[in-house]
Amino acid sequence: MLQRHPFVLLPALLGLTLISFLVSFSSGSADLGIGAVLSQLFGQEQGLQQQILFELRIPRSIAAFITGALLALSGVIMQVLLRNPLADPYILGISGGAAVAALAAILLGASALWISNAAFAGALLSIAIVFGIARASGAWSSTRLLLTGVVVSAGWGAMINILLTTSANNSVYSMLFWLMGDLSQSSAGWISTGILLLGFMLMMWQARAMNVLARGDLQAEALGVNVPRLKLFLYFATSVLTACAVTIAGSIGFVGLVIPHMLRLLGARDHRLLIPSSVLLGGSFLMIADSVARSIVAPLQLPVGVVTAMIGVPVFLLILRHTRSARE
């Protein structure tokens, strides 16, 4: 069972990722068929189509893939760290801190680059606050971390509402887009690609220890896992991954919560399989959602965070229903 799964699930997800890239390249307000995309990619043609593909579509698709992968990976880690299946990357207030800073930057009329920088700084600030408070007593329990995060999150939420209600109409519009998660201004650079790769490698290194940690702190300790050190490591890993995702695209919901669950329901419970699968499925899911977001009401664009939920909710419910009836 354990040994056979990777040979079915991972190739299937790799295939899905390739298809998602092609779909993502070909969708948008200018009509580019998949055939046209392929001939652009591998042919010698020049012109407007090529410009659209290489300057607009491909960077955006890559940004979508990386953001989705970062969020799904971060969700996997957060759920183990808090041993709570309802945890998502934003639960400890990282997106809240980023949002307050980003909204403040929008209010001040900053450029897209500075909005991103502000978001990253806000996320770091929130990580430090939660860490400082949760660590203050010395003990580092999941419950305490979760409570601290949720309360800090609520604080950021209130500040977001203050900013929204006191801002001028035109900036409220861009604020709402940021809050719902939006890829139209995004590009993912080498730094976020590097962070994703590094995070992925580090998590694969600790994947078996994460399996053990999921069985409880004491049990993990008794099986030779240095639990305080691993938890600290996971906390900073999930924080940096989330901060990076939020910096690229605002707070896109749903991906980090549901992708790991979908895969667990499909049988990927071992983290050595769950981590690579989440990266692939998270990335392709967000690419598909982004393709829908920019083509369904073209030339207008929907915030991608709305689409992730629109696609994700029915798909997740279907899988849930199917696996329940299959198991019982």
Partner 1 sequence: MAFASTILEIRDLRLEIAGQRICTSLSLQLQAGECLGVLGQNGTGKTTLLHTLARLRPAQGGEILLRGQSLNAWSRKALARQLGVLFQSSTDSMPASVEETALMGRHPHLPDWQWESADDVAVARTALKAVNLDSLLTRDINTLSGGERQRLALAMLLAQKPQLYLLDEPGNHLDIAFQVKSLQLLREQLAQQNAALCMATHDINLAARFCDRILLLRGDGEPLIGATRDVLTPETLSHAYGCSIGVVNAGSRQVFYPE
Which residues here bind partner 1, judged by CB under 8 A?
1-3, 79-80, 83-85, 205, 208-209, 211-212, 214-216, 218-219, 221-226, 264, 269-270, 272, 327
Query: Is 15 or 85 the residue whose CB approaches partner 1 more closely?
Result: 85
Minimum distance between the CB of residue 15 and partner 1, rounded to whole angstroms? 24
Query: Is 160 or 279 the residue whose CB approaches partner 1 more closely?
Result: 279
* 3 state SS of 155: helix
Query: Is 91 or 293 the residue whose CB approaches partner 1 more closely?
Result: 91
Query: Is 222 or 317 the residue whose CB approaches partner 1 more closely?
Result: 222
* 3 state SS of 276: helix
Query: Is 84 or 167 the residue whose CB approaches partner 1 more closely?
Result: 84
Minimum distance between the CB of residue 284 and partner 1, rounded to whole angstroms? 23
Q: How far apart are CA 277 and CA 284, in angstroms?
A: 11
Q: How far apart are CA 62 and CA 187, in angstroms?
A: 8
Minimum distance between the CB of residue 210 and partner 1, rounded to whole angstroms? 10
Helices marked H in 43-187: 48-51, 58-81, 94-107, 112-135, 142-166, 169-180
Closest to 185 (Cα-Cα) out of 263, 266, 260, 247: 247
Output the six-digit token pair for 119: 């978001």
Residue 151: how many other CB atoms lie within 10 Å: 12
Closest to 67 (Cα-Cα) out of 310, 316, 295, 254: 254
Minimum distance between the CB of residue 213 and partner 1, rounded to whole angstroms? 9
Q: How far apart are CA 210 and CA 197, in angstroms?
A: 18
Minimum distance between the CB of residue 172 and partner 1, rounded to whole angstroms? 40
Query: Is 2 or 56 the residue whose CB approaches partner 1 more closely?
Result: 2
Minimum distance between the CB of residue 94 and partner 1, rounded to whole angstroms? 22
What are the angstrom distances between the C-alpha of 197 and each of 41, 191, 192, 328? 25, 10, 9, 39
